[in-house]
Structure 1
Amino acid sequence: MPVILFAVFIDLLGFGIIVPVLPFIVLNFGGDSVSGMALVSIYSLAAFIMGPIWGRFSDKFGRKPALAGTFLGATISYITLGMADTLLLLFLARAMSGAMAGNIGIVMAAMADVTTEENRGKAIGWIGAAFGLGFALGPGIGGILSTIGGNGDPNIFWAGMTAACLSFTAMILTTIFVPETNKKKTENEDHKDVPRWTSVFKQPGQTALLAMFIVTAIGQSISFAITPFWAERVLGWNSAQVGYLLMASGVCVFFIQLFAIGPLFKKFGEVKSLGMALGFHLIGVAIILYGPAEPITAILGFPIIMSGMTLTFPALNSLVSRRTDERLQGTALGISNGLSSLGRIAGPITAGTVFTASVAAPFYIIASTGILVIFWTVWELSARPSHIKAPAE
C-alpha cells in the first residue's frame, strides 16, 4: 500500500497546487464569487456522475487499471487548465478533472481489499493523511507558482503544468508498482453470485448514513471554497497568502489523520469520534464568525474548522465499507464519493450566492451541517437497529 498512498499524495499535491490560484484566475477573467463557486461545483458535478462508474469499473476489471486511468485523465485536465485563457476553458478543464476524481474511491476500495474490518477506519485515515499532506504542501507551492511570469497578476500556467506532471508521475507509479488488490475480480468477470449495485442501499440505516456524505460535503466544500474569497475581502490577502493558510490547515489535517484517527476509533468508535470532531469544528466556525477581522482569526479559525471536519472522511467511509458486501466495495465507496460530490455541487454555489450579501452567511451554513451530523450520531448511537452490523465501540 505505500506505493498507492504515495501516488495519492502526488495526485493531491497537484490538486492542492491549483486550489489557491483558481479564485484569482476567475476574477482576472471577469468572473465573481458566484462563478468561482460554480467552478468548484462543476468539478463536483462531474465527480458525482463518474464516481460510482469508476467504482463499478474497479469491481469488474480491477483497481489498478481504474486508478491508472483516473491519473491519466487528470494529467490531461491539468494541461487543459494550464492553457486556459477564458472562463469557458476553465470550466471545461475542471469538469474533466472532476470526472477523474473517482481515484479516491478506488484507493479506499483497494484499502478495503487488504485490511480487516477492525483496521479499516485507520487504513482509510492513512489515505486522508496522504490527502492532507498533499494539500498541506500544494497550496503553498501553487501560490508561489502563480506569481511566475504574471506581471503582478496571478496566472495558472505553471501551476497547471506542474499539477499535470505530478498526476502523470502518479500514473507511472501505479502502472509499474501497484499490485492488483481486487481478488474478487475473477468472480466478477464470470458473473458468479455478484450482487446488484442497488444492494448497497438495502442495509438498514444505510440511507441515513449515505445522506451524511452529502451533508458533510456541503460543509467541507464551503469551508475550502470560501476561504480565498473571505481572506481577500476581509483581510485583503493575495493568492500566496491564501496558499500558506490552506497549507497550515493541511498540516493539521495530515497529523490528525495519521496519528489521531487510529486511537480515536479504537477507543470511541467511528460514530462517537465523528460527533466529538464536529463539536470541535463548531468552535472554529465561532472564531471566524465572532473574532476580529485580523489575521489571527483566520490562522486559528480555518485550521480548526478543517481539522474538525477531517474525521468525516475515514469515519463515514469505514462504516459504509463495513456494512457492504466485499464484492461491492468499489461500487459502495464510489457511490459514497459521488454523494460527497453532490454535496460539493450545492454547497459552493449556495455559499457564493449568500457571500455576496454577507461574509458571515456561509459560515452559518457550515455550522448547520455540523449540527445536523451531530444529531445523526446521537440517533445512530441510540436508535441503531440491533441487526445493523455495529462498529467496534
Structure 2
Amino acid sequence: MNENNNRKIFKYKMLAPLWIAIFIDVLGFTILLPLVGYFSKLFETTPTMIGLIFSVNAMFGFVFGPILAKLSDKYGRRPLLLISQFGTFLAFILTAFSGNLLMLFIARMVDGMFGGNFPIAKAIISDKVPPKDRGIQMANVGIAYVLASLIGPAIGGILFTWFGLLGPGLFAAGLTIITIIVTLIMLEETWTKEDRARNHEEKPEISIKIRQNKNALFMLALWAFHTISFSIIMTSLSFFSVIVLHLEPIEMSMIFMISGVFRAGVRFTLFKPTIKKLGESNAIRLGLAIFLVGFFLYGYSTSVISLVILFMFISFAASLTRGPMNSKISQTASPQEQGKINGLSSALDSVAQIIGPLIGPFILETLPPYWLGIVVSLIALPALLMSTRNIEKKKFNRKLNALNHS
C-alpha cells in the first residue's frame, strides 16, 4: 500500500510547479476580491456600476477563455498559459493606476481577454491524471484558493488602507511576475508535439462534437446552475458587507481570511475521508444540498458572526463539489478534447461571473437583502435536482462514440 502511494505521489510530482503557479495567481486575485465593495466610494459611483464593470471582465473571459484553451490543444499548454499570465500581469498594473472608471474598465477588459489560466490548468491536470484520481487533483486547485485566502485578503485590506488601490494592484502584479517565472522555468509541457500529432491523426476517428455529447451537455448544464448561484454569492459578499453590515475594508478582509482558515481545516481534515466514505457523486449531492440551504440563509444574515458561520458551511460545500464536478465534466470528453471541454466549463464560469456582479449589487441596492438569498437558492435548486440523475454514469464512452461514427 505504501509503495503504491509513493508511486502515486511520484507520478504527479510534475504538477508541483502548476500548484505553485496557481497559488500565486490566486493570491493576487484574493488580494483584490474583498475590496470590490469599496470601489463605489473610491470612484464615486454606485455598486451596480462597479458590478457592471467587473462583469465586463467575465464577458471577455467568456469569449476568449475557450479560444485560449482550444489553442492550447493545438500549440501546447505551456505557451498559452504564459500568454494568459502575462495578460493578468498587465491587467493588475492597469488596475493599480486606475484613477477613473474608464481605466478600471480597460483593466478588467484586459484581464478577461487573457483569462485562460484556469481552463488551461484544468487541461494540464486532465493530460496527466487518470479519471480515478482526477477528482482529488482537480480539488487541489481549490487548495490554492484555500491557502491564498489565508493571507491574501489581509494583505489586500492593509495595502488598500495604507496606499489605496495602488498598493494591492502593484503587489498583485509582482506576484504575477513570480508566476510567469515559475511556469517558464519549472513547468513541463504536458501536451507535447507528439501528442498533438497523434491527436490530429486520431481525431477524425474518435472525436465527438460536444453538442452531440449528451453526457457532456448534462454535466455542463448542471455546472451552469451551480456556478451561477455560487458566483452571485461570492461576488456579492463584499457589497453585502458594505451595504448591509457597514464594515470597513480591514474587517471585510478578516471575514475572508477566517473563512479561508476554516476552508483550509476542512480541506486537510474532512475532505478526503468524506470523499472516501460517500464517493464523489454522493459528496457532490451533499455539497449541493448544503449550498441550497446556505444560500437561502445568506440573505437573512444580520451580523458578522452569523455571516462567518454561514460561510464555514458554504466553504465545506465548495470543497465537496467544485473539484469533483470539474473531474466529472472532464470525464465526459475524450483525451484529445480536454482543452475544449475545460474551456467550455470555464466559459460557464465566465457567464456566472457576468451575472453575479450584476444581480448581487442590484438586489442589495433595490430590495431587502433576503431577496438575494431567495433568488440565488432558486437558481441553485436545479443543480441539486440534476445531481440525482445518475451522474456516476455520465462519462465518455469510446465504444459508443466509435459506433456513432461507423
What amino acid is aligned across from residue 125 of structure 1 in structure 2?
A
Q: What runs of 5+ residues in structure 1 fail to find an aligned partner?
A: 150-154
Question: Structure 2: which 5+ runs fail to align?
Answer: 1-14, 399-406
1:308 pairs, out of 300, 309, 317, with: 317
What is the deviation of 1:127? 1.2
Change over 3 Å in CA distance of 1:133–1:238 after alignment to 2? same
2:275–2:283 CA contact under 8 A, matched in 1: yes
Establish whether residue 269 from structure 1 lines up as the match of residue 283 from structure 2.
no
- In structure 2, relative to structure 1, the CA distance for the partners of 1:57 and 1:260 (3 Å cut) is farther
Question: 1:359 maps to which residue?
Answer: 369
Show the counterpart of 1:339: 348
Q: 2:378 maps to what in 1?
A: 368
Taking the aligned partners of 2:201 and 2:266, their CA distance within structure 1 comes to 41
Matched with 1:281 is 291
* CA 1:113–1:186: 2 relative to 1, 3 Å: closer
**Deviation larger for 134-143 or 1-10:** 134-143
Structure 1 residue 184: Cα displacement: 6.4
- CA–CA separation in structure 1 for the residues paired with 2:65 and 2:176: 18
Seen in structure 2, the aligned counterparts of structure 1 residues 233 and 187 have a Cα distance that, compared at 3 Å, is closer
User: C-alpha distance in 2, partners of 1:92/1:307?
Assistant: 35
Give 1:199's match in structure 2, choosing from 200, 209, 214. Answer: 209
When residues 17 and 170 of structure 1 are mapped into structure 2, their CA distance, relative to the original with a 3 A threshold, is same
- Whether the 8 Å contact between 2:85 and 2:117 is mirrored in structure 1 is yes
Who is 2:72 aligned against? 58
Map Cα deviations across residues 179-219 of structure 1 (whole Å, 9 max, x no partner): 11114654348832235987233222321211122212211
**Counterpart Cα distance in 2 of 1:386 and 1:60:** 24
Percentage of pairs with the same residue: 26
Task: State the 1:18 CA deviation.
Answer: 0.8
CA distance in 2, matches of 1:189, 1:115: 19
For residues 381 and 180 of structure 1, do their structure 2 counterparts lie closer, same or farther at Cα, with a shift above 3 Å needed?
Answer: closer
Give the partner amino acid of 1:191: H
Per the alignment, residue 209 of structure 1 pairs with 219
Structure 1 residues 34 and 269, CA gap change in structure 2 (3 angstroms) = same
Question: 1:387 Cα deviation (Å)?
Answer: 8.6
Q: What residue is the counterpart of 1:221 in the other structure?
A: 231
Shift in alpha-carbon separation, 1:261–1:109, aligned structure 2, 3 A = farther
The one-letter amino acid paired with 1:354 is: I
How far, CA to CA, are the matches of 1:119 and 1:266 in structure 2?
12
1:167 aligns with 2:176: yes
Match of 1:19 in 2: 33
Aligned to 1:106: 120
Q: Which amino acid aligns with 1:116?
A: P
What is the Cα deviation at residue 283 of structure 1?
A: 3.8
1:286 and 1:187 map into 2 onto residues whose CA distance is: 46
Aligned to 2:334: 325
Q: Is the 8 A contact 1:285 1:367 kept in 2?
A: yes
Q: How does 1:90-101 map to 2 (within 5 A)?
A: 90-101=104-115
What amino acid is aligned across from residue 350 of structure 1 in structure 2?
I
Deviation at 1:132, TM superposition (A): 2.2
Shift of 1:72: 1.0
- Name the structure with the higher helix share: 2
CA-CA distance at 1:368 after TM superposition: 1.8
When residues 333 and 297 of structure 1 are mapped into structure 2, their CA distance, relative to the original with a 3 A threshold, is same
- Specify whether residues 24 and 14 from structure 1 end up closer, same or farther in structure 2 by C-alpha distance, changes over 3 A only: same
Deviation at 1:67, TM superposition (A): 1.2
Indicate the residue corresponding to 1:245 in structure 2: 255
Number of residue equivalences: 382
The residue correspondences of 1:13-52 to structure 2 (distance < 5 A) are 13-52=27-66
Q: What is the distance in 1 between the residues matched to 2:93 and 2:396?
A: 50
Contact 2:216 2:333 in 1 (8 A): no
- Name 2:6's counterpart in structure 1: none
Letter of the 1:30 counterpart: E
Does structure 1 conserve the Cα–Cα contact (< 8 Å) formed by 2:199 and 2:336?
A: no
Structure 1, 82-91 or 177-186: larger mean CA deviation: 177-186
SS at the partner of 1:180? coil
Q: Is the 8 A contact 1:222 1:348 kept in 2?
A: yes
Distance in 2 (alpha carbons) for counterparts of 1:386 and 1:69:
32
RMSD: 2.4
**How much has 1:94 moved relative to structure 2?**
1.2
